[in-house]
């Protein structure tokens, strides 16, 4: 077994399931393993508590630039219930390595660590490289937010996620909130003259999916298309013969770059207040995330595309539907791309796996990227 496969196997065998708010140090055993492994392979490593004993791990390999190239990925995984393969065995079969986190995202993490260890052992270091393994990506992104607060000031970032070896430069953000329509209630045999909140809900859905969506459609972005608004859940009523007092809808609003999800929420609240008045209440958003739109012409991004092309991979930028930590890193003006072995279709699945051929190819790509001088060296221009 190669060093890379061996490292990934060891990391899959250390469970790091996101506790989704329960106060458990879920990823810390893995963070400690990464810190120890990195130190043994010539990297400067440290742990940083984010919350509840949960730690990010930072590993640095100094090179010829002051500002680092950031390799970022997450330590946590989703749950293992219902898996059809042993989540923590890391079994190899048919050229695949199976297990929870094999592609999302311990595969990319193993690739990053191995490429940094190669460089520590031998070779030019045209830039400082900093790896951040962060907690809580699968829940509310506290790990990446804590990392941003460290002010690492990277000149570019590669975020490790399964992208089937493509360079992802764009994805949407989102805002989810609940909208409640209210009425006076009463006996359903005497509905006359009373507001039925189902009627209000029907008019709201008609507006959101019709007129409002048409407005959103007018603002499409390259690679990912326009923002969208979808009512995804609805609940209401208390009995078959009771006029309902309330109906609550959940909306899933996908955002594009330039839209602040909090501002999107405030606009929706004001819009519905103006149209439907006090009978409608829009609760604070329970999920917000930012969109990513990295300029493919940025020198770091086009440089990384060049590395992909040199390995016979498709260098064209790609947009995806799901969110990543890259959009939070990009909020600080850092050109950020997402890259890694394995397919997003395999992430979170009952038989999650990473193809070994892609794992090894990703290692070659990242190792080559670390040897590519992307940024002006300290004390001298390129
Ligand atoms: Zn992931």
- Full DSSP string of 82-117: T-SS-TTT--EETTEEESTTTTTTHHHHHHHHHHHH
Q: Say whether domain 173-288 belongs to CATH 3.30.70.360.
A: yes
Distance 78 CA to ligand 1 centre (A): 9
Distance 137 CA to ligand 1 centre (A): 7
Distance 75 CA to ligand 1 centre (A): 9
**Cis peptide leading into residue 105 (ω within 30°):** yes
Distance 2 CA to ligand 1 centre (A): 24
- Residue ranges for the chain with pLDDT beneath 50: 379-382
Distance 381 CA to ligand 1 centre (A): 36
Q: What is the pLDDT of residue 126?
A: 94
Structural domain spans, the chain: 3-171+291-370, 173-288
Closest alpha carbon to 335 in 168, 182, 205: 168
Distance 109 CA to ligand 1 centre (A): 11
Residue 177, φ and ψ in degrees, nearest 5: -150, 170
Q: What is the DSSP letter of 140?
A: T
Cβ 55 vs Cβ 25: under 8 Å? yes
Distance 204 CA to ligand 1 centre (A): 34
Distance 4 CA to ligand 1 centre (A): 19
Instruction: Give pLDDT tens digits for 103-148.
Output: 999 999 999 999 999 999 998 899 999 999 999 999 989 999 999 9
> What is the number of other CB atoms lying within 10 angstroms of the CB of residue 267?
12
Distance 322 CA to ligand 1 centre (A): 10
> What is the number of other CB atoms lying within 10 angstroms of the CB of residue 27?
31
How far is residue 174's CA from residue 291's CA, in Å, rounded to a whole number? 7
Burial of 279 (0-12, 13-18, 19+ CB in 10 A): middle
Domain with residues 3-171+291-370, CATH architecture: 3-Layer(aba) Sandwich (3.40)
Distance 365 CA to ligand 1 centre (A): 19
Q: Quote the Cα angle for 310-2-86, to 5°.
A: 110
Distance 153 CA to ligand 1 centre (A): 23
Distance 358 CA to ligand 1 centre (A): 16
Pairing mode, strands 167-171 and 292-293: antiparallel
Q: What is the pLDDT of residue 197?
A: 97
Q: What is the pLDDT of residue 382?
A: 41
Q: Which tokens belong to 160? A: 């490790």
Distance 283 CA to ligand 1 centre (A): 29
């Amino acid at each position: 077994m190669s060093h890379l496969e061996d490292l990934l196997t060891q990391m899959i065998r250390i469970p790091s399931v996101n506790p989704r708010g329960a106060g458990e140090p879920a990823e810390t055993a893995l963070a400690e393993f990464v810190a120890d492994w990195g130190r043994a392979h010539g990297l400067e490593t440290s742990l940083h508590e984010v919350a509840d004993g949960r730690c990010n791990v930072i590993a640095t390999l100094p090179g010829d630039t002051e500002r680092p190239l950031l390799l970022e990925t997450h330590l946590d995984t989703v749950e293992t219930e219902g898996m059809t393969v042993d989540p923590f065995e890391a079994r190899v079969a048919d050229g695949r390595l199976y297990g929870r986190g094999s592609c999302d995202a311990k595969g990319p993490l193993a690739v990053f660590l191995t490429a940094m260890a190669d460089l520590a052992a031998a070779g030019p270091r045209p830039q400082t490289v900093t790896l951040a393994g962060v907690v809580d990506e699968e829940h509310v992104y506290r790990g990446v937010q804590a990392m941003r607060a460290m002010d690492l000031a990277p000149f570019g970032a590669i975020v490790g996620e399964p992208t089937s070896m493509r360079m992802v430069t764009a994805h949407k953000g989102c805002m989810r909130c609940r909208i409640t329509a209210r009425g006076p209630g009463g006996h359903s045999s005497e509905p006359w003259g009373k507001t039925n909140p189902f009627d209000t809900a029907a008019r709201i859905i008609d507006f959101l999916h019709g007129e409002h969506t048409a407005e959103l459609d007018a603002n499409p972005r390259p690679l990912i298309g326009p923002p969208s608004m979808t009512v995804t859940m609805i609940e209401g009523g208390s009995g078959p013969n009771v006029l309902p007092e309330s109906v609550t809808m959940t909306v899933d609003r996908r955002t594009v770059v330039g839209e602040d999800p909090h501002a999107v929420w405030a606009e929706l609240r004001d819009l519905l207040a103006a149209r439907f008045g006090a009978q409608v209440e829009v609760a604070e958003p329970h999920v917000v995330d930012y969109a990513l739109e990295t300029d493919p012409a940025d020198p770091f991004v086009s440089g990384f595309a060049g590395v992909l092309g040199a390995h016979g991979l498709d260098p064209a930028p790609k947009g995806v539907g799901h969110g990543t930590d890259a959009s939070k890193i990009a909020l600080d003006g850092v050109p950020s791309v997402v890259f890694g072995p394995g397919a997003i279709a395999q992430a979170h699945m009952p038989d999650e796996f990473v193809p070994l051929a892609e794992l090894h190819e990703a290692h070659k790509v990242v190792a080559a990227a670390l040897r590519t001088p992307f940024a002006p060296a300290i004390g001298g221009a390129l």
